Amino acid sequence: MNSIDLFQNPLPRWFKRNPRPTVLIKELQERDRRRMLKHFLGLERADRLLRFGSMLPDELVSDYVNRIDLKRDMVFGVYNRVFQLVAVGHLAFAKTDPDKSAVTDKENVAEFGVSVSRSVRGMGVGSKLFERAAIHCRNNDVDTLYMHCLSSNQTMMHIARKAGMEIQRDYGEADAYLKLSPPNPGSMLQEAVEEQFATIDYTLKANTRAAVKWLDRLPGRKPR
């Protein structure tokens, strides 16, 4: 199984000229749960099938979102310029079971699932969400990251291959495993800096959206 170091100093990448916009990954909180649901319900049918492995009806998608334990799991998101949640990565933690003891002796393992709206495809959003999840695992003493998806999920397969994950396919489904390096000062700094930048961006977009909604309520204004 591969072991990789995902640390890359983010500062030069953020401040150099780059035609591709920077993807800021924000840790989501309880206040974002409503927007998580809106994101999942807004996925196209094919994308919902790939994300959940079956065509879940709206009520089951709602149940899934409501059952996410934000005190145990981590959920990361990407907001666009008009404060719409356009990508979500769910990092779920579980106790290591005997079947997985051969690949890790750590207490916990993590499984990652991601969905990206069509409006931001091809911008590396899914890969950036995966990198953020992997860094968080490293910094929290989790050295094994899993992904389970349909074999036809080309986005997840691309992320897995790009990260050097070991992929096993069986009956139309795929499991991918990645062994992570131990934490180091660089990985700790990367997670802290990226969250700080994303928090500033989140606050600016939220305040701008609130201001726009307030202006739209003024007499004579047409709602946007």
- If pLDDT is split at 50, 70 and 90, which confidence band does 8 have? very low
**pLDDT tens-digit readout, 9-62:** 455 554 555 555 689 999 999 999 999 999 999 999 999 999 999 999 999 999
Say what the pTM is.
0.84
Distance, CA of 197 to chain centre: 16
Distance, CA of 179 to chain centre: 18
Tokens of 93: 């933690």
The C-alpha atoms of residue 69 and residue 181 are separated, in whole angstroms, by 26
Residue 191 parent element (H or E) = helix 185-216
Find where tokens 């790939």 sit: 50
Longest dimension (CA), the chain: 67
Find where tokens 């003024």 sit: 218
Cβ density class 196-213: b for 16+ within 10 Å, e for less:
ebbeebbeebeeeeeeee
- For CA atoms 79, 82, 86, 88, give the dihedral sign: positive
SS3 content of the chain, % helix, strand, coil (to 5): 45, 20, 35
- Computed over every residue of the chain, the mean pLDDT equals 86
For residue 220, the SS3 value is coil
- If pLDDT is split at 50, 70 and 90, which confidence band does 108 have? confident
What average pLDDT score do residues 78-86 get? 95
